[in-house]
Structure formats: structure tokens, C-alpha cells
Amino acid sequence: MIKKLALATLVVTLTSSCVSKKIYSDLENKFADVKKERNNLSDENRALTTDKNNLDLQVKGLQSKLDSTKSERDKLANDYAASKKNYDNLKASYDALEKDSNKALAENIQKNRALIAELEAKQKSLNAEQERLNQLKAELEFSSKRLNELEEMIAAKDAGMKALKDNLSKALNAFEGKGLTVEQRNGKVYVSMENKLLFESGSWTVGVEGKKAVAALGKVLAENPEISVLIEGHTDDDKISGNIDGVQSNWDLSTKRATAIVNILEVNKTIDKKNLTAAGRGEFAPIASNENPDGKAKNRRIEIILTPKLDEIGKLLNEL
């Protein structure tokens, strides 16, 4: 454009033969200004071109970034959509689960309350049972203590009865083999005297040898005031026949014989009479067969049963 303007100016100048020097100078100056302006514009154009190229490069870079950003945005949008879908699904599942959980929780709470009530009832029963157990334990300990005392007392009684039996055996040793025996059984001592040692047939009068045996027995009894003495009269099964003064039956005869032994023991003033008991058993407690003379002889006897007083033992038994 500038070139064309300068060329036109030059053509006008050359074709004008009537141009003054002043005008020529002005034209030259203008041409110079125009040329200068052209150069400036040319420089500016080059700078602008450079700027344009740089801007083009920047635009390309920005366009690339824009495309990359759009791609990243699209990817993020897709990821967001997928995540949102998953979230929606999870939220729906959570809501359903929460609904079920609330229902299950309510049911569990109700069950737990029922279990707690049941446990409290069982705990109450357990406490009552424990209290009863403690009471039973205390009673058992008390009973065990009493039982030990009872066992010790029984053992002492047994030892005492054994010592009594040994003393009687020693005191009555001279009469053993003459129808007299001494035994210990069932916690008692039994002194058995056959009638041949004591009485004549059909009589309740004690002979001399029999009195000696009963007197020897009395000495031992006097030394043991804590012993109860039961004197039992026994007969065979032969019926009373003939005229025996005052005797009506074997019951009668056995009682009179037992009383006769008590009368001899009474002579010993140191024997406590409250400990003596006389009883007639007749023929109803035999120790042998009445089918032969030997058996009948054994059945005709006086049995003296020595029993320890069991008041203290009975008291302990009542406490158990």
C-alpha cells in the first residue's frame, strides 16, 4: 500500500514540469516520512506476525489443554455417573438394610429384654437357692459336728461296754463252763445263766452256787452306775404241771425267777436300784430247739442284758 502511494507521488512529480523546488522538497519530505512510516509499519507488522505466531502456538497449546481437559472432564463425568449410580445403589441397599436392621434391632431389643427378665428371675432363684444351700451347708456342718460327737460317744460307749464285758468275764470266770456265758453284741453285754446254775426244776429259789455268781455280777454292776440292767427269765415250752405254789404258767415262773435275781442284786447297797428291771419272757424267746433235752436246757435261763444309758446319744440324735 505504501509502495503504491510512493510510486504515484513520484510519477506525478516527474510528469509535472511546472513543479517548484519547494513543492519538490515537500514531496521529498513527505516521501521520507511515508518511507519511515512504511518501515515502522513493516517492523510493527513483523512484530505482530511474531506475536501472531506465538499466539497461534499458545492457542494450539491451549486448544490441546482444552481438549485434554474436556477429555478429563468427560472421564470424570463418566466416573461421577458410575460412582453416583453405585452410590444410589448403595444408598438403596443401605436404606433397605437400615429398615431391616431397625426391625431386627427392635426384635433383638425385645428378645434381650425378655432374656434379661428371665436372667433376673433365674438370678433371684439362684440367690434363693444359694441362700438355701448356705443354710443346708451350715446345718450339714452342725450335723457333721454332732455326728462326730455321736461317733466318739458311741465309740466310747463301745469301749466302755468292752471293758465291762472283760471285767464280767474276769469276775465270772469261775462260773464259765457251768452254764454261764458272757457276750458283747449290738452295743450291749449279755450275761446268760442256765437254770442248772441257778434253780431247781420248777423252782425260783436260787441255789448257793447261783447266788455266788449273781453276787460276783453285782460287784461289777456296782462299779458301773451308768449301766441299765434288764433281767429276763426264760423257760422251755413244757407246760406247768403238778402243784407249784403260786405259779400258774411259764410266764409266771420266768417272772418270779427274774425277780429272784433282782432280790439278790438288791443286797449290794451300792447298786442303783433304778437301773434294775425284771421281766418274764416265758417260752417265747428260745435260743435253741425245744425238740431235745439239750435245747430245752439252754432255753431255761436267766439273761442279764447290760445296756449303756443312751440319754446323751438320744439327745444328739434328736439334734441331727
Reported as a single tens digit per residue, the pLDDT across 227-241 is 999 999 999 998 887
As beta bridge partners, residue 278 has 231
Global confidence as pTM: 0.56
Pairing of strands 188-194, 301-308: antiparallel
Task: Mark residue 16 as left, alpha or beta (left: phi above 0; alpha: psi -120 to 50; beta: remaining).
Answer: beta
**Which residues are CB-neighbours of 162 under 8 A, at least 6 positions away?**
184
**CA gap 225, 270 in Å, rounded:** 9
**CA gap 231, 305 in Å, rounded:** 6
- Residues 279 and 258: beta-carbon distance below 8 Å: yes
- Residues 255 and 280: beta-carbon distance below 8 Å: yes
pLDDT at 316: 46
Query: In angstroms, what CA-CA distances link 69 with 21, 72, 222, 279?
Result: 68, 5, 133, 133
pLDDT at 202: 80
Angle made by CA atoms 84, 87, 90, in degrees to the nearest 5: 155
- Residues 76 and 70: beta-carbon distance below 8 Å: no
**CA gap 271, 262 in Å, rounded:** 11
**Architecture of the domain whose range is 172-319:** 2-Layer Sandwich (3.30)
Q: Which of 180, 285, 187 lies closest to 236 in space, CA to CA?
A: 285
Instruction: Locate the DSSP E strands across the chain.
Output: 180-185, 188-194, 227-234, 276-282, 301-308
pLDDT at 198: 94
Where do the structural domains in the chain lie, given as residue ranges? 172-319
> Which residue positions in the chain have pLDDT lower than 70?
1-19, 242-244, 310-320
As beta bridge partners, residue 116 has none
pLDDT at 224: 92
**CA gap 81, 83 in Å, rounded:** 5
DSSP-assigned letter for residue 224: -
